[in-house]
């Protein structure tokens, strides 16, 4: 018999749920108390463990019930990870209403964040090295598309670097207009070359990093995805082919997001 726990609310037996990147936080450290639980000292994320104590706040389960008519399981998987972190990066970029956003790298996270920005009336300019990624950006309605090191046709109010390439940071900063903000979405980044204060940072340009997400980010983004049909570009791989998926990602052979599907379900109809 399937039941929900006594402390569970908002879920019913049979609901599809997913676990977003941030699973647990302590709820009482200085970061949690400031509403910045993504910086929690004992947070728990998939593939890792807490650094101290026992987390006492609830896991970030996201119900996909209200999305079930629009997205299948393979589309939902990137929304719960790449989608949420891209949303966080977009929020950190603080693009002004009707502004111009530059996106460096156009993979699983970036192609979702770009659509959120465009739904908000933002003009999106994409810089990426992959020909397939450039084609996808054009299909989704980017204002301009060019190579990763190319200069966009207009000064940018904000930019997000999704590619884990430190060499792109000076390039993106030079593309910013006065007062522009650069958001760095990656968990890892290669070394950042020296910056020239006058050329890269003067006129109140800012750099902001992104660390995971808050559960409020997840709820807000999933609600947005339920209200707007995001086109999620995916390539499916058997779980046993995870190594091949990683190689394809490194070699720019994935258009959008790579999704691992359990071998026993690979040939089955994916639920909605």
pLDDT in tens, 109-149: 999 999 999 999 999 999 999 999 999 999 999 999 999 99
**How many angstroms from the chain centroid is the CA of residue 80?**
9
Quote the CA–CA distance of 122 and 159 in Å, as a whole number. Answer: 12
Burial class (CB in 10 A: 0-12, 13-18, 19+), 184: buried
Q: What is the pLDDT of residue 58?
A: 46
Mean pLDDT of the chain: 87
Q: What is the pLDDT of residue 267?
A: 74
Q: Which residue has the higher pLDDT, 233 or 14?
A: 233
pLDDT in tens, 190-227: 999 999 999 999 999 999 999 988 888 988 999 999 99
Q: For the whole model, what pTM was predicted?
A: 0.87
Backbone angles phi, psi at 220, to 5 degrees: -65, -45
Q: Shortest CA distance to 206 belongs to which of 93, 91, 88?
A: 93
Q: Shortest CA distance to 125 belongs to which of 139, 109, 141?
A: 141
**Angle of helix 110-119 versus helix 215-227 axis, rounded to 10:** 70
pLDDT in tens, 70-98: 888 899 999 988 999 999 999 999 999 99
Q: Shortest CA distance to 135 belongs to which of 125, 143, 145, 121?
A: 145
45 has pLDDT over 70 = no
Range scoring the smallest mean pLDDT among 67-76, 79-88, 175-184, 258-267 = 67-76
Sign of CA dihedral 244, 183, 89, 151: negative
Residues linked to residue 25 through DSSP beta bridges, in sequence order: none
Quote the CA–CA distance of 74 and 267 in Å, as a whole number. Answer: 12
Q: How far is CA 174 from CA 194, 213, 258, in A?
A: 13, 27, 31
What is the mean pLDDT of the segment spanning 219-242? Answer: 94
């Amino acid at each position: 018999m399937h039941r929900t726990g006594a402390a569970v609310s908002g879920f019913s037996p049979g609901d599809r749920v997913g676990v977003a990147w941030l699973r647990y936080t302590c709820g009482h450290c200085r970061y949690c108390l400031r509403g910045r639980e993504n910086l929690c000292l004992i947070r728990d994320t998939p593939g890792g463990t807490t650094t101290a104590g026992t987390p006492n706040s609830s896991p970030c389960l996201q119900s996909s019930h209200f999305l079930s008519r629009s997205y299948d399981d393979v589309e939902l998987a990137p929304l719960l990870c790449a989608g949420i972190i891209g949303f966080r990066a977009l929020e950190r970029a603080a693009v002004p209403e009707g502004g111009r956003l530059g996106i460096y790298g156009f993979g699983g996270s970036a192609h979702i964040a770009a659509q959120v920005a465009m739904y908000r009336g933002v003009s999106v300019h994409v810089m990426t090295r992959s020909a397939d990624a450039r084609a996808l950006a054009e299909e989704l309605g980017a204002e301009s598309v060019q190579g990763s090191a190319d200069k966009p046709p207009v000064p940018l109010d904000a930019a997000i670097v999704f590619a884990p390439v430190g060499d792109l940071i000076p390039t993106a900063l030079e593309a910013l207009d006065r007062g522009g903000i650069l958001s760095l979405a990656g968990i890892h980044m290669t070394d950042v070359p020296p910056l020239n204060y006058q050329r890269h940072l003067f006129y109140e340009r800012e750099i902001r990093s992104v660390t995971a997400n808050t559960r409020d980010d997840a709820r807000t983004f999933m609600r947005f995805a339920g209200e707007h049909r995001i086109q999620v570009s995916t390539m499916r791989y058997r779980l046993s082919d995870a190594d091949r998926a990683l190689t394809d990602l490194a070699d720019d052979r994935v258009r959008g997001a790579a999704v691992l599907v359990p071998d026993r379900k690979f040939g089955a109809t994916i639920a909605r």
